[in-house]
Structure 1
Amino acid sequence: MPNIKFRASRRTLTSHAGLSIIGQCFEIAGVDSIDSRFPTTLGMRTSDVIKSYLGLLCLGMSDYDAVENFRRDKPFQQLLTLQKVPSAATLRQRLEKLAANDLQTRTATWSTTLLSLIEAPITAETTHVCLDIDTFVMDNSNSKKEGVSRTYQKVDGYTPIAAYLGNEGWCLGLELRPGKQHTMKESNAFLERVLPRAQCLTKQPILLREDSGFDSQALWTQTVSIHDDNKTEYVVQRVMRLVERTADRDGQLLLEPDYELEGWWTSLDEAPEAVIKRYQAHATHEQFHSEIKTDLDLERLPSGKFATNDLILHLAQLAYNILRLMGQLGMTGELSPVRHPAKRRRLRTVLQELVHRAALVIHKARQIILDFGQDIGRMTVLKTLRSRLRYPRGTPC
């Protein structure tokens, strides 16, 4: 066994060098602008509170107490441009107060501002850019949190609604709902908020994809008034598929065949095979739900108050998009560290490869230098990302 000794020095180290990119994204998104709306309280800027919690989310942490580990962490404070790092109690109290003042309405614009200024890649599914909308379950069993109730998956929790744009899965909407709320309830209002964001980010035609939980006469049979006061009815087609199974998923032969009948409503004038293929791609968004719940550690929300948890999900929307942006710009193509080829990287992979990277922090000539030692590959990726984000090229939404 090697002779191992432990030693401490006065050098400043960080295990989260990727915060240098995250802090830059906060600046581009305009997070600091909330200080003009919510002034400093007891010496703590509102933006410091918000950026501290966003920083935790971008590190895969959601619990308030996690911030205590960073109160004396100088790189965390400097890379996120914080004046102060709040305590866990201050973080909880200020988030509850901000949620009561409806900060959620302002946070929704941060993601679209970031994605539009950076000109984030938005890939179409053949002829259309797909906008996937769906609800999912967050299991918060054995808790007395406000809004927790029985969900359609037979567990107690919440059923938030989310919207994802393009094959990259940019999150344009993430709102909390009580567990018992039906999928269709208030979904039209959610769509009215999300569609303008999607239309701002892409000029390509947008295809809305939803599952059967959103079936409604108001969505599929529509009438609109024209100048002569007549009404025009939009007609949609229904595509059907009958599946016969003679064996189960484990290969066990069935005594009698099992039949499954499926149907899809669509306004596209395409062959049935093309419609079915498009909807099969809709299932990809289930992975995005999983990343929010596991990679961002948000399966069990930290607050007992519904409005505060709703604010936390709105903040998670920006954290999700920042990590997704780092993955798309830094971990696909030739710049990517050695990994199998992929069109999109999971958030957990971005955390492991880019965010949780060790570096020596050096202060010299009013600059912060991150020394990665012999880890040249990750240094190159982060350096390229910082250069790419330095001068935004697009137009803010």
Structure 2
Amino acid sequence: MKPFPGKGPDGEPCARRSDLADLAILNQYLERFTSMSKRLSHLPGQGRAWIAHVDALKSLVAILFVGRGDFETIDQLSSDRFFAESLGLKEIPSESALRRHLEEYAEPLGAVADICITEFFKRASIPLDTLPDGHVTLDIGVLPMADPCSFLGRARWGHVCKNLRDLIPVVACLSMRKWALTTGLLGRSNDEFAAFLARVIDKAQGLTDAPLLIRMDDVCGAWDACKALSKCNQADYILKWNCHDQNLPLWYRRAFTEGRVNTSCPGKEVALLSVEDQHSRDNEDGTQHKAGARLVIMVTKYTTDKSGATLLVPEVKLEGWWTSLRLSEEAVIALYQDHLAQGRHISRFKNETGLDRFISSMPSVNQVILASAALACNIRHLIYQPGFMIEEPSPSAESNAP
């Protein structure tokens, strides 16, 4: 099959293409910018597997690419000849065969999918935008999933639902364009999150020499993230502070006494304060860890509502961010505000792949699905970039082709 030129009959770039037509481009990108086929051909168990490893993983990436995050989609496409030809599949696996294959080979398939994400960044020369100060943003956010019991059934799968509820699907995105760097399915252990964070930073630093700016909410404990990031070179951070159990009157007094107060907006007063927050916490091995970080506090006092009516009791809101940056409080808060776009990107991530729930009872299979979804989203994102075009092979290359 020749490369899809990305042009219409009149020679102009195609403005829109159907999802199934894009599968031909998906396969070209997988072959050109990743070593998926080569790596899967060397995996153990190829001869005794129900289906070929490459057919299983490509089929999974494809159904996520077209926005159908469920195994049943593969049966609907089993009679579509174009689906198999565009992906170069020897045979289209059935729903039961695909599910069984992923359950048996989840760990090696997930490792290959994660490696292919990094290869795609390098071989496709993905542009990594930087902030004015030279940082490359690395945003980490949670992918909210529906209750697994809603589709697995409480009576039969109650123990499985409990295990899935204890896991947190996490997506790490690189640069301002929010390219998916890696995914994880994390438990509540601080050590597990620290290991994931170290892996994310190592992957990001392998793609860019620019310093990283890590931004995240309180996923598995922001302070534990501070502890892990304190050992990392060339990485700054802004982490959302969990202030739900804080003493609001105390911080209100400190902010409006020691901080800078802005009263330029009628009915609203904003006090900004920076403090050095020191923590002492016992590690899981019994040792004690002491560390400190700069904490930026913002206390907002509202005396009127949105319509301008005076409130009987003023409303006070407390927010805070741990950071390693030595910028002004306003600059730190402004840098974090762009992280809020991570939530919109994760919503798009879910909508494009159709992943609104866990589609397997096995956490290892769900990890393969998350990594495959990240790869599919990156390829779709690149295809729909302005000015996208797949270069046609030169005449000399075609003549020399076997």
TM-score normalised according to structure 2 size? 0.69
- Structure 2 counterpart of 1:148, one-letter code: C
Give the CA deviation at 1:310. 1.9
Query: Bigger CA drift: 253-262 or 278-287?
Result: 253-262
Matched with 1:31 is: 36
Cα–Cα, structure 1 residues 90 and 242, in superposed 2: closer, same or farther, change >3 Å? same
Matched with 2:222 is: 215
Give the CA deviation at 1:266. 1.3
Distance 1:193 1:250 in 2: 48
Cα–Cα, structure 1 residues 307 and 218, in superposed 2: closer, same or farther, change >3 Å? closer
Matched with 1:94 is: 101
Matched with 1:22 is: 26
Matched with 2:180 is: 171
Kindly indicate whether residue 250 of structure 2 is the aligned counterpart of residue 193 of structure 1: no
Cα–Cα, structure 1 residues 252 and 172, in superposed 2: closer, same or farther, change >3 Å? farther
Kindly indicate whether residue 157 of structure 2 is the aligned counterpart of residue 148 of structure 1: no
Give the CA deviation at 1:261. 1.8
Q: Secondary structure at the match of 1:110?
A: helix
- Check the 8 A contact 1:137/1:157 in 2, yes or no: no
Matched with 1:289 is: 346
- Structure 1 counterpart of 2:68, one-letter code: M
Give the CA deviation at 1:246. 3.4
Alpha-carbon RMSD: 2.9
Give the CA deviation at 1:41. 3.9
- Check the 8 A contact 1:244/1:258 in 2, yes or no: yes
Matched with 2:374 is: 317
**Identity fraction in percent:** 29
Cα–Cα, structure 1 residues 249 and 169, in superposed 2: closer, same or farther, change >3 Å? farther
- Check the 8 A contact 2:146/2:358 in 1, yes or no: no
Kindly indicate whether residue 114 of structure 2 is the aligned counterpart of residue 108 of structure 1: yes
Distance 2:352 2:100 in 1: 25
Distance 1:298 1:217 in 2: 29
Name the larger-Rg structure.
Answer: 2
Q: Among residues 303, 322, 337, which one is paired with 1:246 in the alignment?
A: 303
Give the CA deviation at 1:304. 1.8
Give the CA deviation at 1:25. 1.8
Query: Bigger CA drift: 139-148 or 28-37?
Result: 139-148
Distance 1:196 1:258 in 2: 43
Q: Secondary structure at the match of 1:164?
A: strand
Give the CA deviation at 1:222. 8.1
- 1:329-348 correspondence to structure 2 within 5 Å: 330-331=385-386, 335=387
Q: Among residues 83, 91, 96, which one is paired with 2:90 in the alignment?
A: 83
Distance 1:253 1:313 in 2: 49
- Check the 8 A contact 2:51/2:97 in 1, yes or no: no
Q: Secondary structure at the match of 1:284?
A: helix
Give the CA deviation at 1:200. 1.6
- Check the 8 A contact 1:145/1:303 in 2, yes or no: no
Unaligned runs of 5+ in 1: 1-13, 225-232, 336-380, 389-397
Cα–Cα, structure 1 residues 221 and 106, in superposed 2: closer, same or farther, change >3 Å? closer
Cα–Cα, structure 1 residues 104 and 43, in superposed 2: closer, same or farther, change >3 Å? closer
Unaligned runs of 5+ in 2: 1-17, 232-289, 394-402
Distance 1:222 1:157 in 2: 24
Q: Secondary structure at the match of 1:292?
A: helix
Give the CA deviation at 1:254. 3.1
- Structure 1 counterpart of 2:85, one-letter code: Q
TM-score normalised according to structure 1 size? 0.70
Distance 2:224 2:67 in 1: 41
Matched with 2:13 is: none
Distance 2:360 2:228 in 1: 41
